[in-house]
Structure 1
Amino acid sequence: MTHKIVVAGCGGMANTWVDYALQRDNAEIVGLVDIYEESAKAMAAKKGLNVPTFANLSDALSATGATLVFDVTIPASHKQIAITAMQAGCNVFGEKPMAESYADAQEIVAVSQATGKRYSVMQNRRYLKQIRSFRDMVASGAIGTPGSIHADFFLGAHFGGFRDVMDNPLIIDMAIHTFDQARFITGTDPVSVYCHEFNPPGSWYKGNASAICIYEMSDGSVFSYRGSWCADGLNTSWESDWRVTGSKGGARWDGASMPYGEVVDPEKAEGFIRELARIEGAESWNGREGHWGCLDEMFAALEEGRPAETDCLDNIKSVAMVFGAVESARTGQKIML
């Protein structure tokens, strides 16, 4: 199977996607699209690609016979790109978030189901050896039955561009990663959310760049999220700082190092504070990390005729966490998901 790829969006993130495609033996980039066609021409020159460039996706698909679209456009364009591509008979691999609204994401899922075409979403932060180890530690039962999961995310990210003028830059553009990671780590789905969103003093964002969220998950556990994208100093990693509390102990991951845990030592006597034994996360995952690991999974799933781990049919649940949080912050009410 040879994948004939049109790349939609030739900004910064497109470099990673194009580099990935160029290293695959069974992938061929057949066209580049950008509303500013000069950007597409610049990308072609930079990567040494002798392919046509376009300002319109429909024209590109008609002219090239593409079978797969890489959507590396801004979030506001994702719905149009995904639906246009799938209705033209192409599968789609796209950057997060799936869409700018939950209704748009639902429409994308409906088109995927109606056309039988796959739309897989870039959730690169699932593809790290540390988070795979952390998930395995929680799933193994070593800390007992999880009762709560907590994530702290604090960074001072000075992007400039579209993020600075978004209404909900943290929740929509970044927290989708952390929310998706919470589902991945626990193997659960969201049931409800209460969110307080705000923009603290000194923020360089127009919209709310900080938030506190409380989710009830499908197993009865609680996921709490504290985050800010305008926190200069004492920064966490981009992967957040995690803790899972269970009936036998707890597990911790700082987002950068290997995870570890502490569990009640059954050999020790009971006490006011019980004695604990340390456990270490195992390095058992050998896949590639980041974008390339996620793209490996997307291509493997397509070639095996199955939904990818981050297929839109699953990712819609992470999207629901995002837009449920936005709605809760807007109304001041707990939102059922």
Structure 2
Amino acid sequence: MKKLKLIQCGVGGFGRGWALQHTSTSPDFEVAAIVDISQAALDDVGGAIGVDAARHFTSLEAALEAVEADAVLTVTPPAVHVKHARLAFARGLHFMTEKPIAGTLADALEMLALSRSAGRQLVVSQQYRYRPAMVTLRNRLRAGAIGELGHGHIDFYIPADFTGTFRETMEYPLLLDMAVHHVDLIRSVTGRNITRVMAQSFRPAWSWYRHDPGLKMLLDLEGGVTFSYSGDWSARGRVTSWNGSWRLQGPEGSLHAENDVVSLETCQRWSKEPTRQEFANDTTARDPQGETLHRFAEAIRTGVPAETSGADNLHSLSTLIAAIESIRTGAPVMVADVIARAAAVPAEAGVG
């Protein structure tokens, strides 16, 4: 099958890993050009993956004028995503972003409208969906291991030290930079969107972050399911995996994912006749990041939106915006209200 031609924007930092481990080795894509504001990053990655200097550019506009392509991948700050999307869709190219989809909900809505108008695919790399333990947890829940889901919980505790980086000083670092994965995973694993958010952030006295690395959330899901979340990026002691520690409760028992081991536990009243069963992890054909790239290619070839399409991801981003509003107001926030308000605001203004 003929490879699709891809322009990758952003090849420093996380983008470097994308280029070396995924886009340059993909069976679906060939790298037509690389774009970065850093000439040093272009020289470094270009040399490593065999993209000659004639296909190095410091702007997407210049790359689009010089090379033929089918798609654009942007691994850049979220505020840049909408600018790149406008350029890509105007040229009739398909577009994939790193998470989050955009810097604001209004930008995300604009990107979605542009993709639909152009008839092109918009995909977000929510790679945590394809981690083996998360694939296994979703499959076991969908197979009815505990009956109908009643409620769930995630704990996330890793004392991450980002001293000297933007995460040290950003507002709501855990919510915006990490819980975005967990919110998206809740939707993916349960198959339900989040409808209402009550959130509180906090900064423990011992924290090395400027703002709040702690987060508590109470979420209402479709179908009346309640889900809670507790996390702290400055908590030293017992740690969780990056997926978090999960408990999904149903009438027949509970499903757990702890340290990437998925198990089913049951018992009778008063904890009698307890049982525990561990499952071998289900896997995808590729590693999680590679899986998102392959599904982008499949969406382009078939015309069927990817699981992590822009339309789907709008619900994850909207939940984060609702959580921020809840933190600031101290009140629960309906996710649908957040989307409705953003749709009425010009994209340039954004949402807070």
- Using the size of structure 1 for normalisation, the TM-score is 0.92
Return closer, same or farther for 1:106/1:206 CA change in 2, 3 Å cut-off: farther
| Partner SS for 2:92 | coil
Is the 1:5–1:28 contact (alpha carbons within 8 Å) kept by the matching residues of 2? yes
Is the 1:242–1:255 contact (alpha carbons within 8 Å) kept by the matching residues of 2? no
Query: Is 1:53–2:53 an aligned residue pair?
Result: no
Is the 1:152–1:226 contact (alpha carbons within 8 Å) kept by the matching residues of 2? yes
Give the letter aligned to residue 127 of structure 2: N
Which residue is 1:91 aligned to? 94
Q: What is the CA–CA distance in structure 2 between the aligned matches of 1:309 and 1:26, rounded to whole Å?
A: 18
Is the 1:134–1:281 contact (alpha carbons within 8 Å) kept by the matching residues of 2? no
Q: What is the CA–CA distance in structure 2 between the aligned matches of 1:60 and 1:325, rounded to whole Å?
A: 38
| Number of residue-to-residue matches in the alignment | 331
Q: What is the CA–CA distance in structure 1 between the aligned matches of 2:92 and 2:184, rounded to whole Å?
A: 28
- Which deviations, in whole Å up to 9, do the C-alpha atoms of 1:160-219 show, x marking residues without a partner? 322222212211111110011111111100110000012222323233221101110001
Pairing 1:30-179 to 2, within 5 Å after superposition: 30-50=32-52, 51-159=54-162, 160-179=164-183
Is the 1:142–1:263 contact (alpha carbons within 8 Å) kept by the matching residues of 2? no
Shift of 1:135: 0.9
Query: Is 1:275–2:256 an aligned residue pair?
Result: no
Which residue is 1:322 aligned to? 320
Give ranges in structure 2 of 5+ residues lacking alignment.
336-352
Identity value in percent: 33
Q: What is the CA–CA distance in structure 2 between the aligned matches of 1:12 and 1:161, rounded to whole Å?
A: 12
| Partner SS for 1:204 | coil
Q: What is the CA–CA distance in structure 2 between the aligned matches of 1:21 and 1:41, rounded to whole Å?
A: 17
Q: What is the CA–CA distance in structure 2 between the aligned matches of 1:146 and 1:25, rounded to whole Å?
A: 38
Return closer, same or farther for 1:262/1:49 CA change in 2, 3 Å cut-off: same
Give ranges in structure 1 of 5+ residues lacking alignment.
266-270
RMSD in angstroms over aligned alpha carbons? 1.8
Work out which of the residue numbers 195, 216, 219 in structure 1 matches 2:220.
216
Shift of 1:75: 2.1
Is the 2:169–2:211 contact (alpha carbons within 8 Å) kept by the matching residues of 1? yes
Which residue is 1:2 aligned to? 3
Shift of 1:255: 4.1
- Which deviations, in whole Å up to 9, do the C-alpha atoms of 1:77-111 show, x marking residues without a partner? 22222232222221112111111222222222122
- Which deviations, in whole Å up to 9, do the C-alpha atoms of 1:30-55 show, x marking residues without a partner? 21111233322222123332142222
Return closer, same or farther for 1:255/1:88 CA change in 2, 3 Å cut-off: farther
Query: Is 1:17–2:18 an aligned residue pair?
Result: yes
Give the letter aligned to residue 24 of structure 1: S
Q: What is the CA–CA distance in structure 1 between the aligned matches of 2:283 and 2:136, rounded to whole Å?
A: 7
Which residue is 2:209 aligned to? 205
Q: Which runs of 4+ in 1 moved over 6 A?
A: none
Give the letter aligned to residue 129 of structure 1: P
Q: What is the CA–CA distance in structure 1 between the aligned matches of 2:169 and 2:178, rounded to whole Å?
A: 14
Q: What is the CA–CA distance in structure 2 between the aligned matches of 1:32 and 1:272, rounded to whole Å?
A: 61
Which residue is 2:343 aligned to? none
Q: What is the CA–CA distance in structure 2 between the aligned matches of 1:136 and 1:25, rounded to whole Å?
A: 27
